[in-house]
Amino acid sequence: MVGPFGGITAATLLRAAEQHPGRLGDPLALTVNFAGPVADGPFEITATPVRTNRSTQHWSITLTQDGTVATTATAVFGTGRPTWSATEIARPDVGAPEDVPVRPSPGHVAFVDNYEIRFVEGALPDGVSTARPDSTTTLWVRDAPARPLDHTALAALCDVFYPRVLLRTGRFVPAGTVSLTTYFHADAARLAEQGDRPVLGTARAGAFGHGFFDQSARLWGRDGALLATSHQWVYFKD
Amino acid sequence: MVGPFGGITAATLLRAAEQHPGRLGDPLALTVNFAGPVADGPFEITATPVRTNRSTQHWSITLTQDGTVATTATAVFGTGRPTWSATEIARPDVGAPEDVPVRPSPGHVAFVDNYEIRFVEGALPDGVSTARPDSTTTLWVRDAPARPLDHTALAALCDVFYPRVLLRTGRFVPAGTVSLTTYFHADAARLAEQGDRPVLGTARAGAFGHGFFDQSARLWGRDGALLATSHQWVYFKD
């Protein structure tokens, strides 16, 4: 793993577009490409609305450090309207957040201390684990300290699941996200309803091979609302 | 649906990067944002390698028409290497392509005539259909006329599934892809093994609401190899 937690990079790029005075509506889709590590120190983000339509707006976003491109992104913002709705994928059948303990800080990964995580299934291997036949992790998570959920925080949360190759192999192999795409099902009103309650998240890999794999995540809010779906392409070494 | 088949736009942008003399390796990840319709007529594509690392290369790609941005994209190319491999998601349990008939041309959607499609499940509603509880479509598909599969053709194939909202509602409501992300699990050697044989594809929606939904697709090749996974965010009107 090189550079900081990918989720905070994604959230920071999204926030740059959100703060632009010409911004239209809420985030709908975000793709962040981790082209190189971001070092501790100053960086610059350029967020450009490349095309604004009646109900959607397309963004190009770039993070540079010392004149070198470290991260690129595209985002779609837009305004929704009431339509027929249905959630087709199933929320994991789990109990309440209080049914599972908060994971103690592992100490060695800084970003984890910014989250209150309760593993329901598929906790991070502790170094003496063995391989598993399935890479699923299901957990409850919220910011630590707790604060109301917004799209920026949701963008970061989608990357809170560590690389699935660690769980499948049971070994701490080097791995890092190459590209991360998130779809925001929740609008600002839905996120306001969520408040600072824990979010239920689940993640699983698709397939591993020739140094890369994909993984997908789903984040669920109160009343069984799907808040976001997210997908990433990850590099690994074995 | 506005503009041409999104798959051909995605493939055309990917091809622009593939043809660049500085291109490194094979496509790994591609995100295409459909900012506006592409009209019949000339267009320009600018494909820029914004950062080249040892084993990955990050691209920014833009299609303009009459000076207006119609499509933006980012792509990651790279070189794989032999590693541990495993396919975790399950291939649909279906028979041979020959077990199901080729769909006759519907006549009114031009792009469909460029594909030989055999529906296993979830064929396009014929206008007298009713709503369904599940949006899954599973089909066999290859180019028509048949030709060997390459990454460009695979990029287009990932968009061959029409918008899931049509199947769920049983009605031809207006719908169009806003953003499309594809992960290429197959390298050039694997695609060469596939040749011009039909590919097995399956697609399903996640959730529909406030004028948008997400859908995910998986494409499988011979010997049960996962060729690509793909996700998209789609606009619809009801």
CA–CA separation, A180 and B89 (whole Å): 19
Chain A residues with beta carbon closer than 8 angstroms to that of B206: 87-89, 183, 185, 218, 226, 229
What pLDDT is recorded for position B131?
Answer: 87
> What digits encode the pLDDT tens for the residues A98-116?
999 999 887 777 888 899 9
Q: Which of B209, B163, B165 is nearest to A83 (CA)?
A: B209
pTM over 0.90: yes
Mean pLDDT over B5-21 rounds to 97
Which residues of chain A make contact with B185, given a CB cutoff of 8 A?
Answer: 206-207, 209, 212, 214
Q: How far apart are CA B53 and CA B28, in angstroms?
A: 14
Tell whether the model's pLDDT for residue A1 goes beyond 60.
no
Mean pLDDT in residue range B132-143: 96
d(CA A120, CA A122): 7
Please determine, for residue A50, whether its predicted confidence score (pLDDT) is greater than 60.
Answer: yes
Of B69, B206, B210, the CB nearest to A88: B206
CA distance B106 to B116: 12
Q: Which residue has the higher pLDDT, B132 or A22?
A: A22
What pLDDT, on a 0 to 100 scale, did the predictor assign at position A2? 58
Contact A181 B181 (CB under 8 A): yes
pLDDT digits (tens, 9 = 90+) for B163-218: 999 999 998 899 999 999 999 999 999 999 999 999 999 999 999 999 999 999 99
Omega prior to A145 cis, within 30 of 0: yes
pLDDT for res B127? 65
The CATH class, in words, for B6-79+94-234 is mainly beta
pLDDT of residue B109: 77
CB contact under 8 A, A233 and B76: yes
Angle subtended at Cα A52 by Cα B109 and Cα A159, rounded to the nearest 5 degrees? 85
| pLDDT beyond 60 at B82 | yes
pLDDT band for position B124 (cuts 50, 70, 90): confident
Query: Residue B238 and residue A82: Cβ atoms within 8 Å?
Result: no
C-beta atoms of A185 and B209 within 8 A: yes
The domain locations on chain A are 6-79+92-236
Q: Of A62-71, A102-111, B129-138, which one has max mean pLDDT? A: A62-71
Asked if the model's pLDDT at residue B125 lies above 80, the reply is: no
Q: Do A207 and B168 touch (CB under 8 A)?
A: no
Residue B3 has pLDDT above 80, yes or no: no
Measured between beta carbons, which residues in chain B are less than 8 angstroms from residue A183? 206, 214, 231, 233
Please spell the DSSP secondary structure of B112-180, one letter per residue. GGGEEEEEEE-PPP-SS----S---EEEEEEESS-----HHHHHHHTT-SPPHHHHHHSS---EEEEEE
Q: Which helix (H) or strand (E) holds A193?
A: helix A188-194
Residue A122: C-alpha distances to residues A96, A136, A209 (Å): 17, 6, 21
Residue B209, min C-alpha distance to chain A (Å): 4
**Residues A138/A144/A145/A146 CA torsion (nearest 10 deg):** -20
- Does domain A6-79+92-236 fall under CATH 2.40.160.210? My reply is yes
Distance, in Å, from the CA atom of B127 to the CA atom of A168, rounded to the nearest integer, reads 45
Which one of B35, B51, B229 has the shortest CB-CB distance to A36? Answer: B51
| pLDDT at res. B129 | 73
Give the confidence band of B110 by pLDDT, cuts at 50, 70, 90: confident
